Amino acid sequence: MTHRFDPTSLREYDIRGIVGKTLGEEDARAIGRGFATLVRRAGGTRVAVGRDGRVSSEMLEAALVDGLTASGVDVVRVGLGPTPMLYYAEATLEVDGGIQITGSHNPADYNGFKMVLQHKPFFGEQIQQLGKMAADGDWEEGEGTVTDADIEDDYVGRLFAGYAGGTFRIGWDAGNGAAGRVIEKLVKLLPGEHHTLYTDIDGTFPNHHPDPTEEKNLVDLKALVAEKGLDFGLAFDGDGDRVGAIDGEGRVVWGDQLLSILAVPVLRKEPGATIIADVKASQMLYDRIAELGGEPLMWKTGHSLIKTKMKETHAPLAGEMSGHIFFAQDYYGFDDAQYAAVQVINAVHVIGKSMTQIRGEMPAFVNTPEMRFQVDESRKFAVVEEVLDRLEAEGADVNRTDGARVNTPDGWWLLRASNTQDVLVARAEAKDQAGLDRLMAMIDAQLAASGLERGPQAAH
C-alpha cells in the first residue's frame, strides 16, 4: 500500500486542504499510518485524537483512527473540542502524541490536522516525512485499540484553577467554533457577569467567520459590549487556539497589545524573564517588556517555531500578532485561547485599571494591517534575500530574524516570505501618517527593484 498526498496539503505547521479536493478519507488514513509508525519507532504506543466542529471532521476522524490502529498504535479519542483541549490531553494523559482534526480559521470547506509528538510540536521536515513514508508505503503493521476519554470538564477545571482575577462584566464570542461548549462551562465558574455569543458548535459558521484578527468578525461582539455596557469582550477562532479582544469602547486590543497586558503579572512572578513575540509585533511591545524589567526577544512567525524557541529560552510567555498566545508559567507551553482569556482577566485585575483605560494609555502608532501579495513560490524567498542585500549595501538598520525588519526614525517596516502560502507579507508602523507613507514608499521601492508591485489587493 502506498499513498500520494496533494502537495499543497503538507504545509509548514500542519496539514490542511479543501475536503473532497485536496484532502479526503484516504489522506487521513495515510496520516494515521505514518504518524503511528513514527510513534512506534520512537518507542511509543498511544495517541490522543480530537476534532473540531466542522462538517467533515467526524469522517476524517474515523479514517485517521483506522490508520493509527492499522499501524499498531492505541487511540484515545477525546472527542469534540478546541485544539488546546487536545494539547492538554497530550500533556496530561498517558500518551505519546496527539492529533487534532481542524481547519482552524479557514473557510468551512477546509479541514486539516495539527500534531504533537512527545510533547513537542510536529512540523516542517516531520510533516514532509509523512509524505515520503506514504509514497514508499513505509508503514508498521499492527492492531491498535480504541478508547474514549471525556476530558472536557477536567480541561475547563484546569483553565479555572487558581483563578484570582476579580469580578468583571464580559462578552464572549465563540464564533460557532469548537470552543463553544468549553466557554459555556468556563463562564459558569468565573465570578462576575458574562454574556456569550454563538457558543453552539456549527461547522457552517452561520454568523460570521471565526477569525478574531479580522475586525469585521468582531462587529457582533462590539454591539453586545456597547448594548450591555460591558467592561470588555473576548473572541475565539474556529479551533480555540487564537484569541481576540476589544475594550469597553469597542476598540480592538490586538495580539501584541494583549501580550503587553499579560506581561505584567508574568514578570511580577518571574522578574527578568524572556518574553517572545514575532517579527510582526509593534515596537511598543518590545519597549514595554523592557520597561517592565523583562527581556524582549523578537522571533520568527509560526506557532511551532515559537513553541520551540520558548523551550530553548525558558520563556514563560510568548505571542504572535495573529492571536496565538503561549503560556509556560504555571501551564504547558502551548497556545490556548481559553487559557489566554482567563489570564487576560487576571492581568486586568492585577494592573488595577479598566481594560478601556489600559488600552487608552497605550502609545498611539499608525500602522498597516498585514499586507499580502502573491509572488511565485520559487521567487518568494529570493526576493527577500535581494531586499536584504540592497539594504545591507545602503547601511540600513535591519533585523534579519524572519525576513527584513527595518528600523528608521519614522518607525519600522517588515517584508517576509510566508511559510504557508505563495505570498510576501509586509507590515509597517510609524508615529504618524506622514511617517507611515514614507515607510510604505520604501517597501514599494524595494518591491519595484525586485520587479514586483504591491498592487491594490495588498491590504486585508
Residues with catalytic roles: 104
Residues sharing a CB contact under 8 Å with residue 100, sequence separation 6 or more, in sequence order: 49, 50, 51, 52, 83, 86, 87, 113, 114, 115, 239
Element (H, E) at 309: helix 303-313
| Amino acid letter, residue 183 | I
Distance CA 113, CA 133 (A): 17
- Interhelix angle 337-351/180-189, nearest 10 degrees: 30
Distance CA 106, CA 98 (A): 21
Cβ proximity of 382 and 372 under 8 Å:
no
Distance CA 327, CA 92 (A): 16
Cβ proximity of 318 and 294 under 8 Å:
no
Count other Cβ atoms within 10 Å, centred on residue 223: 14
Determine whether 397 is exposed, middle or buried from the number of CB atoms within 10 Å of its CB (0-12, 13-18, 19+): exposed
Cβ proximity of 122 and 44 under 8 Å:
no
Distance CA 269, CA 213 (A): 29
**What cell numbers appear for 160 in the block?**
479555572
